[in-house]
Amino acid sequence: MTSIATSSPDDILLSDVANLHVSPRTRLSSTPKAMKKPPNHWRISDIWWFALVATAMKLLLIPAYRSTDFEVHRHWLALTHSLPLSRWYSDTTSPWTLDYPPFFAYFEKFLSFFASLVDPTMTHLHKGLNYTSPLTILFQRLSVIFSDVLLIYSTRKLSKDFKGTGKFLMWALIIWSPGLFIVDHLHFQYNGFMLGMLLLSLSYLEEGRDVMGGFVFAVLLCFKHLFAVAAPVYFVYLFRHYCRGGFVKGSGRLVVMGSVVLAVFAVAYGPFVYYGQIQQVFRRMFPFGRGLCHAYWAPNFWPPTASFTGGLVGDSSPFAVLPTITPLITLITVLLAISPCLIKTWRDPQPRMVTRWVAYAYTCGFLFGWHVHEKASLHFVIPLSIIALKSAEDAKHYFFLSIVSCYSLFPLLFEAQEYPIKVSLLLLHAVLMWFGFSSHFSKSKAGKASSSVLRKDDKFKSPNADGDVKFVLGWYGKAYLLGLFVVEIWGQFLHPIIFAAPESVEGNTNESSEVLGIEAAKESSEVLGIEAAKSRQSRPEKVGIKEQGEVKIPRSSKPDKRSLETSLKSLPLKPSEIIGNNKESSSQEVTFHQ
């Protein structure tokens, strides 16, 4: 009877069944209570509805912009399909050399079997260079969409202990993440697949299945080594939480965990050790010569240092003023930043806190790491979406960081046709978070929060235990987000208008008209470098024309080939007629240089 009185409502039904012989009075008093609130078994169709909506959006983005990473991964398909394993990390057929760990190379090898059936040219090492057939685009886009199944499964696994709107909000924040839409399904990468692996590892750790959690994390490191920033947290947590129980038992568990991790790395790197390619593999994976900052500077601690000292993007040469930042300095800085988290993990290794610690470690790596990509912000934003459901304070931090992270990805999509897409994704995400968190916390009393919002093993700490729990963004966060809006309006609209190059009325009139080809036949023939019969000895003066007939277009005018061809149609004489009147110049080829 004591156990029944102290059990949660979800457990009373099972305890009543197990104790039917105890007391009829107990059965009558407890069974109706259990009947009123049965265990909250969510339907699997719910999360797949979220996944279906996300998939429909991803399919609409198939013909949209794609970055050079699209060609990178297509080349890796051809590389792993056409060459033996011993040459994967030494081939230089393309500038996009393989620089991911072996498990990702095996993953590309797996995809290449299907790619060769869809379009064989896609997997040809030489013919496939810069190959973008419709089938190639469709196949690679679909490969990213299908790989997101792991992210959906991991989200489902993590959300099984959440209740009510918290569960649906968690699905929306992860599966509908605007950052993943931008990076994976527009820019083109496989971050959702690997973040799903990270969430799967965290779910095992929170369940107390430490060996499985360590195993999945080791597999993740063999897919993408940049996730190793959280390795110190994993090591300290597993050592203190799993390898305990005395010297003998703890040593045995340490051997088990070490064997599992070493087995994963042996499968990944063993073949390359056998072929004597292990040094080349590490050389590709850790190209420290690329410099402190990425080509597009991530918004972390180091860009101000690089800009103030005159350091070049992608150049590891010494800075001009301040001391040179080396990879060792960044490593020490990251470890120092993570050290408070490691101390906390050592003293009190709690499964319910491991997601928070891992997210903190990735935040430190993003801020102080070497050659950080802007996309690395997803490494801590996605885990923070789980923490955001635990309190209004965590939700406030997540709201702020997720918006800033998504906005920092905007320069990845620099073409005009994608501008409405990225702005709409961010605005919809912000509105969803604001109304979702507000409804989540505004009506939740301190006593209700632990049962309707939080996990069963968490303790909710309300800032006002007697009143409502409110989701309120502080003045600093509001001012910062307002600043982002001002920066966007300035950079996108005001700056191009205010600082646009003024058009000259007199001095550049003839020159611009020549460039656009809007002049008489004689002047247009000079612009094209094709000498007319009457001006055979003349040479163009206003635009620098080479003897081969090439036209040098001033950079400020930025005409394209279509506009030039349209302008030529309005000439009194057709270019073909001009060329026909000059047999010597007819053999010359006119080249448009944009």
**pLDDT reported for residue 444:** 56
Query: Please, which contacts does 38-43 make with residues 24 or more away whose CB atoms are closer than 8 Å?
Result: 38/13, 39/10, 39/13, 40/10, 40/163, 42/159, 42/160, 42/167
* C-alpha distance from residue 12 to each of 38, 45, 448 (Å): 9, 27, 19
Express each pLDDT in 478-508 by its tens digit.
888 898 899 999 988 888 888 876 654 444 4
In the predicted structure, residue 144 carries a pLDDT above the cut 90:
yes
Total-model pTM: 0.74
CB-based burial of residue 282 (10 Å sphere; 0-12 exposed, 13-18 middle, 19+ buried)? Answer: middle
**Residue matched to tokens 């309190």:** 391
3-state SS, 533-570, equals CCCCCCCCCCCCECCCCEEECCCCCCCCHHHHHHHHCC
Of 48-52, 169-173, 268-272, 324-328, the range with the highest mean pLDDT is 268-272
In the predicted structure, residue 358 carries a pLDDT above the cut 80:
yes
Single out the residue of 465, 389, 464 nearest to residue 170, CA to CA: 389
Total residue count of the chain as it appears in this document: 594
Report yes or no: 257 and 238 within 8 Å, Cβ to Cβ: yes
Q: Report the pLDDT averaged over residues 3-32.
A: 38
Per the prediction, the chain carries an average pLDDT of 77
- Give the whole-number percent of the chain exceeding pLDDT 90: 53
Q: Which residues have a Cβ under 8 Å from the Cβ of 242 and sit 6 or more positions away?
A: 210, 211, 214, 253, 257
145 against 565, higher pLDDT = 145
In the predicted structure, residue 522 carries a pLDDT above the cut 90:
no
Q: Which residues have a Cβ under 8 Å from the Cβ of 384 and sit 6 or more positions away?
A: 359, 394, 397, 398, 401, 402
**pLDDT reported for residue 562:** 47
